[in-house]
Structure 1
Amino acid sequence: MNIFFPYIFPTVAGVLGLVLGSFYSVCVSRGIAGTSIVRPPSHCPRCGHRLRWWELLPVVSYVLLRGRCSSCRERIPPLYPLIELASAVWAVLAALAFGPGWWFLACLALGGLYIVASGIDFQVYLLPDVLTYPAGALGITMGILHPGIGLYPALIGAAAGFGVFWLLAAVYRLTKGVDGLGGGDVKLMLSIGGVVGALGLPYAVLIGSVAALLASPFFILGQGRQRSMPIPFGPFLCLGGMVQMLYGPAIFRLLIGH
């Protein structure tokens, strides 16, 4: 029993992550549509078919249904099982990194806000205030309560993240005449800067920027996208923040050679 005990909590966390991911996918689809996340019950948006219990199983249902509605055969976007998987992976990694406790639950909540925001941003290039503001409050609170960050680094990180990105957006708009960074990206930096602190903020932004750069060819060439279409930066900023939350101290030690 002792051999398997270290794996029990990450396994439970992974199952919880899958269940939460199924809810997140509902939040994404209904957030884009502007409808309630509570009513009506889960259904096909095209034909109105009410989903049965076996059609609501995270990831498994998508595979069993071969990515289509069982009633009208409308294609189910693959983004939704990817959201479920992302939620499960985040829960497992947080469980392995932090173990049971309040910090794990806080990370699960903040990561959930990031996952939902990313799912919306990928599709409609929008980070809703209803997600970025609660994420900002939670991220700053987590940073203040974290023994390795504290009050002033958390507040400075939040202010620096917001201020620098606001300035970049203003300069780009002034010089180019168009928006280069959305307001949602600027507000998102409140939470990322708060939760990773002033010292962790540059690493989070660097990780997100590198990830966006590596992914940019797929956005340009894949799925019929045009070269003039923007690349959503919010999901990559979320990724950078989440990586820094998990491995920030290890990254810092690696970079300074200790």
Structure 2
Amino acid sequence: MINPLWGVLGAAAGAIAGSFLGTLVLRWPEGRGVAGGRSACDGCGRVLGAIDLVPVISALALRGRCRTCGAKIDPLHGWMEAGCAVIGALACGASPGLAGAGWALFGWLLLTLAVLDWRHFWLPDALTLPLAFLGLTLGLWVTDVTLADRLIGAAGGYAVLLLVAVSYRAVREREGLGLGDAKLMGALGGWFGWQALPFILLMAASLGLSVVLSGMVGGRRITAAMRVPLGTFLAVAALPGWWVLALIR
């Protein structure tokens, strides 16, 4: 049952977090700073005022455009704010207190990693490593998994995909799997334990295959050099994979 007060607080915190994370996703891969200085329109350079920076509401009121020059604002801002708000509301509303905060942080980091990998094939250590650390610490109050299973999951998840990456490089003499994917897999093992990893990996692979097949149906040509954002699919499959394990236990 959802606690309304905690749900509202979680949604507000999520919208604020999403505002920052949306800016991070857009600026970080381009080498632009995300801390310090005031936000400004990328079109005309006008410094944004408080009315322009209210999460979700400003994006809707301004219809995704700058008030001054009318330049289109990347809709990712609004989507990240809304997505993080929903995650915060569900996490804190369903699990008030420390557990809800843990679920919210997990969801916000995972959403950011999923979008970064989808857009840029990039899973930065600055996000995957804190995700792993939180799984081994705060995660103890979030999921009913022993510390031993978490440690095995973190080490095993990383090692399995690291072995795949090294083997592919040795056989094909080119990169086929980034180490960011291995670190993300290890982080998920830290949250859910080693038992959940086969289900998460199977669901991620199935999701990735479905996307590729959909592209083929749509006329997209599939080549050996085609890149697939495995990290995005791992992020999407994380919770469903854990739920499947919980159902069959």
TM interval, shorter chain, is 0.7 to 0.9
Amino acid at match of 2:29: I
On the 8 A contact 1:144/1:154 being kept in 2, the answer is: no
Structure 2 CA distance for partners of 1:147 and 1:91, relative to 1, 3 Å: closer
137, 142, 147: which is aligned to 1:141?
137
31, 56, 78: which is aligned to 1:81?
78
For this pair of structures, how many residues does the alignment match?
247
Q: TM-score, normalised by structure 2?
A: 0.85
Q: Could you say which residue in structure 2 is the equivalent of 1:255?
A: 248
CA RMSD of aligned residues (A): 2.9
Amino acid at match of 1:157: G
Alignment pair present for 1:214 and 2:214: no
Q: Could you say which residue in structure 2 is the equivalent of 1:151?
A: 147
Q: Could you say which residue in structure 1 is the equivalent of 2:165?
A: 169
Structure 2 CA distance for partners of 1:164 and 1:33, relative to 1, 3 Å: same
Amino acid at match of 1:89: V
23, 44, 48: which is aligned to 1:47?
44
Gaps of at least 5 residues in structure 2 are none
114, 120, 125: which is aligned to 1:118?
114
1:47 is paired with a residue whose SS is coil
Amino acid at match of 1:18: A
174, 178, 187: which is aligned to 1:178?
174
On the 8 A contact 1:121/1:232 being kept in 2, the answer is: yes
237, 241, 252: which is aligned to 2:238?
241
In structure 2, C-alpha distance between the alignment counterparts of 1:253 and 1:21, rounded to whole Å: 29
Amino acid at match of 1:15: A
Provide Cα deviations, 1:62-114, integer angstroms capped at 9, x if missing partner: 233332333333332222222122212222232344x2121221222232222
Provide Cα deviations, 1:51-70, integer angstroms capped at 9, x if missing partner: 22222222332233332333
Q: Could you say which residue in structure 1 is the equivalent of 2:188?
A: 192
Q: Could you say which residue in structure 2 is the equivalent of 1:7?
A: 4
89, 92, 104: which is aligned to 1:92?
89
2:123 is paired with a residue whose SS is coil
Identity, in percent, stands at 33
Amino acid at match of 1:181: L
Structure 2 CA distance for partners of 1:55 and 1:241, relative to 1, 3 Å: same
Alignment pair present for 1:231 and 2:241: no
Q: Could you say which residue in structure 1 is the equivalent of 2:62?
A: 65
1:42 is paired with a residue whose SS is coil
In structure 1, C-alpha distance between the alignment counterparts of 2:99 and 2:137, rounded to whole Å: 11
